Amino acid sequence: MSIGTIDRTPPPFFRQGPSALTKLILCSALALFLMVADNRFTITRQLRAVVATALYYPQQALLVPVEAIRGVGNYFMGLQGALSGEQAARRDLAAQAERALRVDQLATENAHLRGLLELRPSLTVRSQAAQVLYEASDPYSRKVVIDRGATNGVALASPVINETGVLGQVTRVYPLSSEVTLLTDKDAAIPVLNTRTQVRSAAFGSAGAVGGGMEMRFMAGNADVQPGDVLTTTGVDGIYPPGLPVAKVTSVDRKLDSGFARILLAPNAKTDGVRHVLVIEPIGLQMPARPEVPPALDPKAAAAAKKGAKAAAAKASAAASGAAP
């Protein structure tokens, strides 16, 4: 700057530019545009993938100390849990050994009694393990798909169970998979036996129950059913083996204005989060074929024979009346 000349340019902190409100509006509009564009046209997907790939190894390096501390803690906790589990397993093994000896003795006595009474040997339950692939896409039904199908020998109407009880029944069979309708489905039904009263009835899926449940229908208002009663399979339907846990009675509403009681059930087998199941062959496939109905007992044949006898009697009566003169 030459002497005698005054510099009239403002200092840097007095320079004017876009206002703060303008900058806020521009940045907000740009951010909104980028969010909409990314949601609609996924323009930043490749960029996000590149950034995620570049940051993966630094993240893993930073997580090494955290994982080391966590691993040491899990080691000592796991060691303590393993020791406790070993002691519990030894106690359970001793109890199971004593029970197994009694079961073997009872099985021998049962076979001996069946031989004395000349009863048919008990049915052998054939089964195979399966894994749940996914739930059915229909939101109004309770169905799952398993990874066993016709090529694995799965038959239609096969019962499906897990370690707690009956889950459902195979309703569709594909070559490599099968569709299982759960007991809580609105169209599901299963014959049950009340273990306390030894009364047979039927349990149905209840679509209106919270979280999925079951109910017993067409039971008289004075029926001997109480909360806490355990229901099992009857074994007389030709599908389910006898004695499998099905559900437990949770509430009994004996309505005065109706002849039936509203009985709600809680299924033993929880359907949420189940991964591995057991598919059982229907026991009806091992039973002897049904005997054919004799013609004398067949309603259609009896009706046809009765109609023919009436026609023959009418003809004979007409012939007799014509020959009388």
pLDDT at 80: 83
Most confident range (mean pLDDT) of 80-84, 111-115, 121-125 is: 80-84
- Assign 3-class secondary structure to 107-123: HHHHHHHHHHHCCCCCC
| 66, 90, 115 - which closes a domain | 115
Q: Would the pLDDT of 18 be above 80? A: no
140 and 90 within one domain: no
Inter-residue contact 235 to 201 (CB < 8 Å): no
297 lies in some domain: no
Q: What is the mean pLDDT of residues 261-274?
A: 86
Q: Would the pLDDT of 160 be above 90? A: yes
161 and 50 within one domain: no
216 and 193 within one domain: yes
**Distance (Å, rounded) from C-alpha 226 to C-alpha 265?**
11
Q: Please write the tens of the pLDDT for every residue from 207-241.
A: 655 556 899 888 888 888 999 999 999 988 888 98
* pTM for the predicted model, two decimal places: 0.56
Q: Would the pLDDT of 85 be above 60? A: yes
189 and 59 within one domain: no
249 and 135 within one domain: yes
290 lies in some domain: no
178 and 281 within one domain: yes
* Concatenated DSSP letters of 216-260: EEEEETT-S--TT-EEEE-S-SSSSPTT-EEEEEEEEEE-SSSSE
228 and 93 within one domain: no
142 lies in some domain: yes
233 and 89 within one domain: no
Domain count within the chain: 2
pLDDT at 57: 84
Q: Please write the tens of the pLDDT for every residue from 40-49.
A: 777 676 776 7
CB count in 10 Å sphere of residue 260: 15
Q: What is the mean pLDDT of residues 110-138?
A: 77
94 and 50 within one domain: yes
Q: Residue 165 belongs to a domain with what CATH number?
A: 2.40.10.340
80 and 194 within one domain: no
Q: Would the pLDDT of 295 be above 60? A: no
How would residue 320 be classed by pLDDT, with cut points 50, 70 and 90?
Answer: very low
298 lies in some domain: no
Q: Which domain holds residue 44?
A: 29-115
Q: Would the pLDDT of 115 be above 90? A: no
223 and 164 within one domain: yes
252 and 144 within one domain: yes
Strands 276-280 and 159-162: antiparallel
Q: Would the pLDDT of 322 be above 60? A: no
